[in-house]
Amino acid sequence: MKLSAIASILECEYDFKDIEINGMNALQDAEVNEVSFVANSKYIKDIQTTKAGAVIVPASLVEHIPNNCVALVVEDSYWSMAILSKYFAPPIENEELPGALIGEGSKISSKAEIANGSRIGKNCTILAHVYIGCEAVIGNNTIIYPNVTVYRDCHIGSDCIIHSNTAIGADGFGFATSAQGEHKKIYQNGNVVIGDDVEIGSNVSVDRAVFGSTRINKGVRIDNLVQIGHNCEIGEYSVFVAQSGSAGSTKLGRNVVVGGQSAFAGHLEIAPFSTFAARSGITKNITKSGLTFSGFPLMEHKLWLKLQVKIARLLK
């Protein structure tokens, strides 16, 4: 759509050369034909280096917008981004796309539903009541058990196993809230990308990204009843035990082990080869590799054990 149309939708002043906008993206990833947004001063560095054609911005940050970028000045940039996200949401299904491509040797249950535009590799097994959304891609030798849903545009690698009732690519839990307490949905226009040799248990939710991709990298093992939030990245060969999960935009290095009922806050970075005992609550970045943690507030496991001993003595 035209940038002038976007300015009209957001009710902001229009006094710039009109350009065609093809999508929305994060500041650091946006290209000249995309619009981005900024709502917080901690992203000033990203504003100054963005390649976006236009940025939705509050008046307090407009001075940081580069000269080659159009500033769409609004009162609440997060709310305005939520409004605009609906206009760039792709259709849930698209009957105009060609029929699904099924690789040689793949066995598809007659009770499964494969949407137009999707591609399934060789020697896959797709069981009853599975739904594969439009333009989804499934690699070779992958097994998908009954009642799994793979939403549109999501990619699953080769040699994967996904167990029953798991949802890949549902909308992330994203919304803007107004000063009056009203909520506006942020349409999740990214996808999920799952690497090769990944096994995911039953009743798992892996949410699609707002922009870009939620990534589950090669060799990851995810137990039953796990939640992976939007825009997360799970490093190679990491392990999530049952009832654990991560809030959005947290990035785990490779071989991270997450014990049962442990949880990550959003926007964290976790060093490779970190281990978290059951019921750990992780609210800060972990920068040093190879350590084991426990508890909430989180502490190194050895210290947590000493603390439990001292507490037990106090109770005698």
93-97, 168-172, 227-231, range with the lowest pLDDT = 93-97
Q: What pLDDT sits at residue 267?
A: 95
- Cα separation, 147 vs 165, in Å, equals 5
256-311 pLDDT, tens digit per residue, is 999 999 999 999 999 999 999 999 999 999 999 999 999 999 999 999 999 989 88
What is the CATH code for 101-303? 2.160.10.10
Q: How confident is the model at residue 125 (pLDDT cuts 50, 70, 90)?
A: very high
Q: How confident is the model at residue 68 (pLDDT cuts 50, 70, 90)?
A: confident
Q: What pLDDT sits at residue 72?
A: 94
Q: How confident is the model at residue 255 (pLDDT cuts 50, 70, 90)?
A: very high
Q: What pLDDT sits at residue 67?
A: 85
Q: What pLDDT sits at residue 315?
A: 83
68-82, 97-111, 264-278, range with the lowest pLDDT = 68-82
User: Per DSSP, what are the bridge partners of residue 74?
Assistant: 58
- Axis crossing angle, helix 3-10 with helix 77-85, rounded to the nearest 10: 120
Pick the catalytic residue from 64, 155, 163, 230: 230
145-156 pLDDT, tens digit per residue, is 999 999 999 999
Is 3-88 in CATH node 3.40.1390.10? Answer: yes
CB-based contacts of 33, cutoff 8 Å, min separation 6:
19, 20, 21, 22, 23, 53
Q: What pLDDT sits at residue 159?
A: 98
Q: Other C-beta atoms within 10 Å of 279: how many?
A: 15
Confirm whether 129 is a catalytic residue. Answer: no
pLDDT over 90 percentage in the chain: 87
Answer yes or no: is pLDDT of 124 > 90: yes
Greatest mean pLDDT among 40-44, 61-65, 199-203 lies in 199-203
Average pLDDT in the chain: 95
Q: What is the mean pLDDT of residues 231-260?
A: 98
Q: Which of 181, 201, 9, 179 is nearest to 86 (CA)?
A: 9
The answer to whether 189 and 169 have CB atoms below 8 angstroms apart is no
pLDDT over 70 percentage in the chain: 100
Q: Which of 40, 34, 74, 79 is nearest to 54 (CA)?
A: 34
Q: What pLDDT sits at residue 207?
A: 98
Three-class secondary structure assignment of 279-300: CCEECCCECCCCCEEECCCCEE
Domain ranges of the chain: 3-88, 101-303
Answer yes or no: is pLDDT of 316 > 80: no
Q: How confident is the model at residue 16 (pLDDT cuts 50, 70, 90)?
A: confident
